[in-house]
Structure formats: structure tokens, C-alpha cells
Amino acid sequence: MAVSIGRQGWVGVAFETSPGTGGTTPTKYIPYTSCTLHNVVEVIDDEAAKGIRERAWGSVAARTRGEGDITINVDVENLPYLLIPALGTCMTSEVESGVYLHTITRKASNPPTTICLNVNDTVETRRYTYGVVNTLELTFSDGLVTATAGILSKAPTAGSGTPSITEENILAFKDAKIYFGSTMAEAENKAATDTDPIGLTAFTLTINNNAEAQYESGSSSPAQISLGQFELSGNYTLFFEDTTERSAHESQTKRAMCIVFTGGSIGTSSTEKIQITIPQFHITERSVDTAPAGFVTENPTFVGDYDSTYGSIIVKIWNQTGTSTYTCCTSSSSSSSSSSSSSSG
């Protein structure tokens, strides 16, 4: 027997072709800072009275499922494995040879877009099929940008994998810029021209699918996992220098937000980029930190609204991975290149 340290474990991931099917061989091994994915076994004790004082006479394994969180440092190649299933719909176009633009939006229906995870905990490898990203929290303050995905899956089985790691440009707060506008067009235009970015000291965006594992007779593992109501929320912190946020809270001003993370150069003339657009949001709470020894900051909490034209969130990611790997993505007919992406990594 030999002991191992946690960083010798690994997580391999691939998109499933349909919930619970395919994706058993990982296409990407995601470097993580935390992984708590495990088999949940709800145990029912046999507590029936049988003439003696002992409470338990045995037990039955009842409902089981895979459940836990994975936290990663954000980059343009690994984030899509968590973000695409969190939102559900992806359209891909090739902007230049080997460079792809993925436009990710919220899926309308309840069946999820799923991933298959092979998780090695240093002792064994277990496979979590029907992997649903129930929640996703994207956050940064004065360090790296991180994403934490709350995952639900079927009960794990024996898994496998040969881990291979790629070097990516991990993103930090310095790579993030946030733009506000009274409309989505204004916020996006500011982002496109890098005009008037808002200086934030912390930012968090939370996607919650309210997914539920549904059990049926015949199996202790979920028959299916379905998406519930969709919620988009977050909060940000900035130095208290004017009354803009206070006023927006009090008068419930609806604004648009565009968050842009910029990475390294790819292709001949492209840049790694993640652009998150929230067409409309409103502030639900706002606190002011007036600690005597500190600089005064304000911390608005927001909720993303549904906009009948644009929906509630649009995420665009520019990277070098095509639809042969992101099998759940649909190739857009507006692709600027007619070359096939079948051999793209």
C-alpha cells in the first residue's frame, strides 16, 4: 500500500452524444483546484421493532447518484466543458483556420446537455455518466478567475483514462474588463471599442439550473436528471465613488452588462476571449462597507432578467477547439470558412 497526495489525481471529461451515452473516452483532462465529486448513497436502516432494544437490524442502499463540485482556473479551452453544459446550447463557427467562435446560450427545454467524467482519486478511477452541470459560479477578485461547477450524475461505475495535460493561458483579474450600458448594444459596443470599462474589485456570476435527479422503480441510480427553472445572479464590489449603483438600486434601473476576459493570441489574427453578455439585469440588494480603517466599497447583488429579444445570457468563447470535440455544438452556417472542422482538436 502506498499513500498519494491529492494532486496526483485527475479528471478526464468529454461531451456525451446524448444524456448517459457516449463520451466515455476523455477528450480533455481538466486541471482542477478542488474536486469533491463522489458517489452519494442514501442508506435506509431497517429500524422495525423486532422484540429487542437494538435500533438497527441492517440497511438498504436506496437512492444513489454522483454529486460534487469541481473548481478550475479559467481558460478558454477548459471552461467550455463546464460552461456549455451549464447553459446547454452552443453554435460554433470557424472565424479563421483552426480558430472557433462558440456562442453559448441557455437551453430552452428541460433535458440537459451532459458530460461524462472519469475521475481518478489516486486509488481508483470512477466514471460519472449523465453529468449535469447544475450550478456554475464564475468569480474573481484580485487573483485568478475561477469557475466552480456543481455536478449531478448517475451513480459512478468503473472508469479509465490516460491523463494528458495541455498548457493553457489561465486568466486572472487583470484580464477581465466589465462594461455597463443602458442597452445590450451599448454594453457590447463599449466592449468592442474598450470604452469606459468599470473598475471592479470583485465579481461573481452564478448560473443555477435547479436540476433534479429523478428516480424510478428498478434502479437506485437516477433514471434521468432534468433541468428546473433557470436562475442567473451575481454580485460585484467597487469603490464607492458616486451614486450610480445606489440610484440604480432605488429606481430599479435595468442595465446590460458585458464581461470580457482576454487571453493569448491564437491563429494568425485572433485572440483567446470569453465574452459574457447579460442583456438585462437589476440590482436586488446593495451593501456599503464603511469599516473605519478601510476604503469605502459598495457591493451590489444583481439578478439577470429574461429579455424577450436576447434571452438572459449570451457567452461567446474564441478558442481552437471545434465541433468534433464539442460534439454538442452545432456548426453555424455563417462560418467564415468552408473548411471542415472534422480533424480539429
Partner 1 sequence: MKIINKYHKRLAFIVDGETFGIEAKEIKEVDDRLGSKLLESVWIEEVKDISQTKKIDIQDNKQKGRKTLKTK
Q: Under the rule (CB under 8 A), what is the footprint of partner 1? A: 8, 10, 14, 25-27, 98, 160-167, 320-321, 343-345
Nearer to partner 1, 270 or 344 (CB): 344
Minimum CB separation from partner 1 for residue 266, in Å? 9
* SS3 label, residue 173: helix
Minimum CB separation from partner 1 for residue 342, in Å? 11
Nearer to partner 1, 110 or 331 (CB): 331
The helix (H) or strand (E) run that includes residue 281 is: strand 270-289
Minimum CB separation from partner 1 for residue 254, in Å? 41
Minimum CB separation from partner 1 for residue 85, in Å? 19
Residue 340: CB atoms within 10 Å: 12
Task: Label residue 109 exposed, middle or buried (CB < 10 Å: 0-12, 13-18, 19+).
Answer: exposed
Minimum CB separation from partner 1 for residue 233, in Å? 35
Minimum CB separation from partner 1 for residue 25, in Å? 5
Q: Which residue has the cell 451614486?
A: 243
Nearer to partner 1, 166 or 284 (CB): 166
Nearer to partner 1, 79 or 136 (CB): 79
Nearer to partner 1, 27 or 226 (CB): 27
Nearer to partner 1, 208 or 320 (CB): 320
Going by C-alpha positions, the residue among 122, 169, 114, 118 that lies closest to residue 6 is 122
Minimum CB separation from partner 1 for residue 164, in Å? 4
Residue 303 is which amino acid? V
The helix (H) or strand (E) run that includes residue 248 is: helix 244-250
CA distances from 312 to 137, 176, 185, 264 (A): 16, 21, 14, 28
Nearer to partner 1, 10 or 302 (CB): 10
Nearer to partner 1, 100 or 261 (CB): 100
Task: Label residue 140 exposed, middle or buried (CB < 10 Å: 0-12, 13-18, 19+).
Answer: buried
Residue 247 is which amino acid? S
CA atoms within 13 A on the CB side of 41: 8
d(CA 223, CA 293) in angstroms, rounded, equals: 55
d(CA 96, CA 16) in angstroms, rounded, equals: 27
Minimum CB separation from partner 1 for residue 316, in Å? 20
Contacts of 275 (CB under 8 A, 6+ apart): 191, 258, 259, 260, 261, 315, 316, 317
